[in-house]
Structure 1
């Protein structure tokens, strides 16, 4: 299954020249926390409601004072977007996408074509549900191949998490020390990433009497 199978094609997109007032209204109406911003359909970045409070307030000498509300409301979205390198291609498989996103604090991910035009969005919650369903039905992690490695490199997803999951799934189980050595990480980094992976059903963890972590493939 690919990202194109689960991406939402009916979604909110903000134009670079939309006002903050318009953006806030649309996000509120759609009960969304973020949306992609485009100019001529080409992706520029993400606009998030969490940034609105900072936009509507400005820090003065004597603390925080309310900004000129009318001026701020008419300000354009393009001045306040977050640039990001996190996006997906429609032909990316779900597990590769999940490995890219599992340790990132995002809710909505844009799906771009090769021309960087937004053709859909994926909610992390939708992706998590599909991964859980796949694993519960006996699905396996994809075997790393040169093509797959290149795809993940193109996505910016050839990450530490990707290496950890593939190493453990190849072996069946491994200690945190073994994973750290193989993946050129510290044990603390392996433990941090592994906790996120366990929460999302991609690894199973156990600890010995001395508190040492061991990583296992999840039970079917």
Structure 2
């Protein structure tokens, strides 16, 4: 199954100069824990609820802190024509639960999550991905 068949297509973006309060409000409105960050027509980062909690609140930064100060800049992504089984394995390896989805010209067209794959009948692959993601460490680990 291709990523484009199961991804979430309604993606809202935020700018790095906006505040973490803006990001938190956007997440609340969308009932999501992640928002892609764009500058012009480029994807320059991702901001998660965990970024706000750990990189901002825990460090004593206020709600008017620019997103750029706490976002994850090293954006991992997949392509819309990738196979979901391959993407699930990659998500396990890099320990993430969601990935932005790009066209081959590097235009953002969606986000894929483990939940998207689980409801599309890929539950065995999702289980393997969750097991990999649940290992200690990873990009958002606070201990490594």
What TM-score bracket applies, with the shorter chain setting the length?
0.7 to 0.9
Paired residues of 2:88 and 2:129 also in contact (CA < 8 A): no
Match of 2:39? 39
Unaligned runs of 5+ in 2: 132-144
Match of 2:142? none
Match of 2:81? 91
Looking at CA atoms only, which structure, 1 or 2, has the larger radius of gyration? 1
Match of 1:197? 128
Map Cα deviations across residues 10-62 of structure 1 (whole Å, 9 max, x no partner): 1232222221111111112222111211111311121111122331343xxxx
The 3 A distance-change label for structure 1 pair 114 and 199 is closer
Paired residues of 1:94 and 1:131 also in contact (CA < 8 A): no
Map Cα deviations across residues 99-134 of structure 1 (whole Å, 9 max, x no partner): 21134432321011234331111111112333537x
Distance 2:68 2:58 in 1: 18
Select the residue among 118, 140, 163 that pairs with 2:108.
Answer: 118
Map Cα deviations across residues 130-177 of structure 1 (whole Å, 9 max, x no partner): 3537x7xxxxxxxxxxxxxxxxxxxxxxxxxxxxxxxxxxxxxxxxxx
Task: Please tell me whether residue 102 in structure 1 is matched to residue 102 in structure 2.
Answer: no
More relative contact order, 1 or 2 (CA 8 Å, 6+ apart): 2
Match of 1:56? 57
Select the residue among 64, 68, 73 that pairs with 1:78.
Answer: 68
Unaligned runs of 5+ in 1: 59-65, 136-195, 201-220
What count of residue pairs does the alignment treat as equivalent? 129
Distance 1:79 1:43 in 2: 16
Paired residues of 1:36 and 1:43 also in contact (CA < 8 A): yes
Paired residues of 2:91 and 2:129 also in contact (CA < 8 A): no
TM-score (norm 1): 0.51
TM-score (norm 2): 0.73
- TM-align CA RMSD: 2.7
Distance 1:122 1:115 in 2: 18
Match of 1:141? none
Task: Please tell me whether residue 24 in structure 1 is matched to residue 24 in structure 2.
Answer: yes
